[in-house]
Chain A
Amino acid sequence: MLTLYHWEPNANSGKPMLALMEKGVKFDSHYLDLLNFDQHSPDYLKINPNGTIPALVHDDLMLTESTAIMEYVDAAFPGPSLTPEDPVERWRMRWWMRFFDQYFAPSLSMIGWQVFVGPSVRDRDPELLKAAIERIPLKERRIAWSKAIYNTFSPEELAESRRRVAVGTLCLEEALSERPWIAGPTYSLGDINGFNLGYALPLAQPLLCNDEKTPHIMKWLRAIYARPAAKATWTMGRTQMAQRITFLES
């Protein structure tokens, strides 16, 4: 039995989705609507008590952490390898996945929660929202939801996140100007990770990321979206968020 609990092909959910698709591994998809707080429902908390997505259930194992899940998927199932043979490339793949997960993504995510997640749910019944926040198991996620719903981000933290997104974009452009894929000559989990983080960058940050300023990022995004596995993954999205990816066809 293999079941992936996920939301849209985006950020953390999209990483195991695309990795499974690239390997051609069949899995049961269990969609949770993050904006409807499905991830905090009692049924899901029985599976993942932290109430975060994604989670992968493989027989009697329950796996979390999107990047670690990808490495698990690549090691546990047959299909094309998504981890380079060369140990140096492997090191570089992991280094960049940490950079994406712990430097770039949190800043991009903070902006996304301020401009998109907060406004998408804010107008609901205030009592319901209050109860929804109280049900969240992890302190960090409770703080995130409360900031998004009540829009209590400080100008300083938003400015700092924008600064980091700009730094991250420049670093990524520099790396991709030296090699075709993030780890080296081989397409890997690092590219899958980076694509989920960055596919919408040219739409969200058009002044930072575009054909003139970041041609290597643009080429890389288009090359990944041209892969059949990426196309198939993004058709699993149910919202406008996933559909906007088609701009990469041009």
Chain B
Amino acid sequence: MLELYHGEPNIFSLKPLVVLQEKGLDYTGHYVGPLDFDALPAAVKAVMEVRHNPEGDGPVLVHRDVAMTESFFIALYLDDAFADVPLRPRDASGRWRVLMWGRFVNEVLAPSVTTLGCHKHLAPLLKTRNRDEIAQRIEAMPTEERREAWRAALDDTYSADLIADSRRKIGLAIKKVEDALAAGDWLAGPAYSLVDIDVFALLAPVPALAPDLLDGTTAPRTSAWLARVRERPAVVAALAKSRTGAPQESFVPGPEHSRWG
């Protein structure tokens, strides 16, 4: 049986939700709100790949008794394990392109979008809660990286430089998407693929977070493509899992910005 622990259909959680729908797979979903710190069963929490999840509080897929994290790799897993509805090119160069997009998304786009999202949405949400209680929760998190990331949200210490650099990186990503879409409707070749799902999950909240960077005038092809992806029945079904009605305002800290590289 497939089980998915996921948050609002946004960012990392949106990817496996869409892939499961695209493939028509039966699964049991467990909804985890942004401040549900006790949602994962202890046995899942104890797994190294969960403790050191580079996406921090991203989705967890449990299948064949294995708890898997990292939304893009979960998507690849589902595509490897349930190949009837393929969501990737089959040839080696097409697959290399998929991996290159995945790396770009997780290294450049994901930290930047989650920085803006946490600054705009998570930090104010945390201010409405009991600070000591949240601080205690943070100290109980499994890694120093997660504690740091949540402390930044609790104290809203996102510097002007970090915000500016995040916006710069989002701009790079939009440019890359605009360029790719000059060749056709989808990002990784003639067919819709995991790359469209991966990039959509991260860019969908950007028109609201940084309207000057992404609208019909500044990035016409990207805007049209966002609309195209959003119309897919699988994406509509995944977005319908929202409980707040505003999935694109739900953020928890994402992966770190690279420190060296």
Interface on A for B, CB 8 Å cutoff? 61, 63-65, 67-69, 71-72, 75-76, 87-88, 90-92, 94-95, 98-99, 102-103, 106-107, 109-110, 140, 144, 157, 160-161, 163, 167, 171, 174-175
User: Contacts A98-B73, A103-B54 given: A72-B68 contact, CB under 8 Å?
Assistant: no
Q: In the complex, are the beta carbons of B92 and A75 less than 8 A apart?
A: yes
Among A67, A71, A161, A171, point to the contact of B48 (Cβ < 8 A): A171
Q: In the complex, are the beta carbons of B54 and A65 less than 8 A apart?
A: no
Q: In the complex, are the beta carbons of A99 and B259 less than 8 A apart?
A: no
Q: Which of B92-112 contact A (CB under 8 A)?
A: 92-93, 95-96, 99-100, 103, 106-107
Bound together, the chains give a CA A92 to CA B47 distance in angstroms of 12
For B93, what are the chain A residues with a Cβ–Cβ distance below 8 Å? 61, 72, 76
Q: In the complex, are the beta carbons of B81 and A87 less than 8 A apart?
A: yes
For A69, what are the chain B residues with a Cβ–Cβ distance below 8 Å? 96
Chain A interface helix/strand/loop/mixed? helix
**Can you list, as one digit per residue, whether each of B52-71 has a CB less than 8 Å from chain A (1) or not (0)?**
10100000000110101110
User: Contacts A157-B259, A171-B48 given: A98-B68 contact, CB under 8 Å?
Assistant: no
Q: In the complex, are the beta carbons of A68 and B77 less than 8 A apart?
A: no
In this assembly, does B49 line the interface, its C-beta being within 8 Å of a C-beta of chain A? yes
For the complex with contacts A91-B74, A102-B54, 9 further pairs of A-B residues with Cβ separation under 8 Å are A71-B95, A76-B93, A87-B81, A90-B80, A91-B76, A91-B80, A95-B73, A106-B260, A161-B260
Q: In the complex, are the beta carbons of B73 and A72 less than 8 A apart?
A: no
For A102, what are the chain B residues with a Cβ–Cβ distance below 8 Å? 54, 106-107, 255, 258
Bound together, the chains give a CA A171 to CA B100 distance in angstroms of 26
Q: In the complex, are the beta carbons of A107 and B95 less than 8 A apart?
A: no
Among A63, A95, A103, point to the contact of B96 (Cβ < 8 A): A63
Q: Which of B205-261 contact A (CB under 8 A)?
A: 255, 258-261
For A103, what are the chain B residues with a Cβ–Cβ distance below 8 Å? 52, 54
User: Contacts A72-B96, A99-B54, A102-B107 given: A94-B76 contact, CB under 8 Å?
Assistant: yes
Chain B interface helix/strand/loop/mixed? helix
Bound together, the chains give a CA A92 to CA B95 distance in angstroms of 18
Instruction: Count chain A CB atoms within 10 A of each CB in B77, B91, B260, B261 and give the residue with the most.
Output: B260
A-B contacts, 20 listed (Cβ < 8 Å): A68-B100, A69-B96, A75-B96, A87-B77, A87-B81, A88-B63, A90-B77, A91-B73, A94-B76, A95-B69, A95-B70, A99-B52, A106-B258, A107-B259, A107-B260, A110-B259, A144-B261, A161-B259, A167-B144, A171-B48
For B70, what are the chain A residues with a Cβ–Cβ distance below 8 Å? 94-95, 98
Q: In the complex, are the beta carbons of A87 and B80 less than 8 A apart?
A: yes
Q: In the complex, are the beta carbons of B76 and A90 less than 8 A apart?
A: yes
Specify the chain B residue showing the minimal Cβ separation from A178.
B48
Bound together, the chains give a CA A11 to CA B52 distance in angstroms of 22
Specify the chain A residue showing the minimal Cβ separation from B53.
A95
Q: In the complex, are the beta carbons of A106 and B261 less than 8 A apart?
A: yes
Instruction: Count chain B CB atoms within 10 A of each CB in A61, A94, A157 and give the residue with the most.
Output: A94
Bound together, the chains give a CA A77 to CA B20 distance in angstroms of 31
Q: In the complex, are the beta carbons of A65 and B76 less than 8 A apart?
A: no
Q: In the complex, are the beta carbons of A88 and B48 less than 8 A apart?
A: no
Bound together, the chains give a CA A227 to CA B76 distance in angstroms of 30
Q: In the complex, are the beta carbons of A88 and B77 less than 8 A apart?
A: yes
User: Contacts A88-B66, A98-B73 given: A175-B48 contact, CB under 8 Å?
Assistant: yes
For A106, what are the chain B residues with a Cβ–Cβ distance below 8 Å? 258-261
